[in-house]
């Protein structure tokens, strides 16, 4: 199953691949070169398909748990000053996605969207300290009874050139459902209350909509 954000790109790529195969078969005489070029193009197409895959996830919804918004590796767990929305201290958990990870963004908690904003910006590597402040990004805040307000931020990386965000203010949403997509490598920051019990460790691999990031007592 492929994400709807990839349908157009997959179709265009398929047309290019088929056209390239015909051209290579017609004009490349050397058999090894012909096979090598066809193999390289086929591998490229498979990578495109893998990037836009949208696997089903078994989300066990709980209002007292915050789930990972994305697939990837936990690269930051620290207390920080969140300056855009809360303007106070929060626990930041950041998940880095490589180009081979699933890039669907999912809502970490159920509740109501109270804030959603897009910021144009640079395309620094996703792990750069200033990426969360200077890169293209979106900020979304979801509120529920137990966590209060939880903020997550989609951040473009050096390869990512477009962030898709479906979150709309005053919309009621379900934990683990599709909230957006980041094309070609990126990071998501999650800002949680200080009393949240963090359930992940640095360098741990997580799955969007399934892995528990934190619990609230």
CATH class of 65-215: mainly beta
The pLDDT value given to residue 159: 60
- Rama region for 196: left / alpha / beta (φ>0; ψ in -120 to 50; rest): beta
The pLDDT value given to residue 160: 55
The pLDDT value given to residue 184: 65
Give the position of tokens 């096979």.
35
Helix boundaries (H) for 84-152: 131-134
How many other β-carbons are positioned within 10 Å of the β-carbon of residue 115? 15
The pLDDT value given to residue 123: 57
**Looking at the annotation, which residues are catalytic?**
186
The pLDDT value given to residue 163: 84
Closest CA to 185 of 154, 152, 160: 160
The pLDDT value given to residue 144: 95
**Residue-wise pLDDT tens for the chain (217 aa)?**
776 876 888 899 999 999 998 888 888 888 899 889 999 999 989 888 877 787 888 898 899 999 999 999 999 999 999 999 999 999 999 999 887 888 899 999 999 999 999 988 765 655 555 556 667 889 999 999 999 999 999 988 666 567 889 999 999 999 999 999 887 668 899 999 999 999 999 999 999 999 999 999 8
Sign, Cα dihedral of 80, 86, 87, 88: negative
The pLDDT value given to residue 57: 87
The pLDDT value given to residue 214: 97
Instruction: Fill in the DSSP letter of residue 6.
Output: G
Full strand arrangement of the beta sheet holding 88-97: 172-173, 111-119, 137-144, 148-156, 186-192, 88-97, 72-82, 205-206
Where b means 16+ CB within 10 Å and e means fewer, 30-69 reads eeeebeebbeebeeebeebeebbebeebebeeeeebbbbb
Instruction: Fill in the DSSP letter of residue 5.
Output: G
């Amino acid at each position: 199953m492929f994400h709807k954000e990839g349908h157009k790109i997959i179709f265009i790529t398929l047309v290019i691949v088929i056209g390239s195969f015909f051209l290579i078969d017609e004009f490349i005489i050397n058999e090894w070169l012909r096979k090598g070029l066809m193999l390289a193009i086929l591998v490229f197409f498979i990578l495109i398909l893998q990037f836009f895959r949208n696997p089903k996830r078994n989300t066990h919804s709980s209002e007292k748990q915050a789930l990972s918004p994305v697939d990837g590796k936990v690269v930051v767990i620290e207390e920080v000053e969140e300056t855009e929305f809360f303007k106070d201290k929060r626990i930041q958990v950041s998940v880095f996605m490589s180009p081979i990870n699933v890039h669907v963004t999912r809502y970490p908690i159920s509740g109501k969207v109270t804030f959603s904003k897009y910021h144009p910006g640079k395309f620094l590597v996703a792990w750069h300290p200033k990426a969360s402040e200077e890169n293209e990004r979106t900020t979304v805040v979801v509120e529920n009874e137990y966590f209060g307000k939880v903020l997550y931020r989609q951040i473009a990386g050096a390869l990512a050139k477009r962030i898709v965000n479906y979150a709309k203010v005053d919309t009621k949403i379900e934990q683990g459902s599709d909230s957006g997509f980041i094309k070609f490598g990126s990071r998501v920051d999650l800002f949680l209350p200080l009393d949240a019990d963090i359930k992940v460790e640095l360098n741990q691999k997580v799955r969007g909509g399934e892995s528990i990031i934190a619990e609230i007592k």
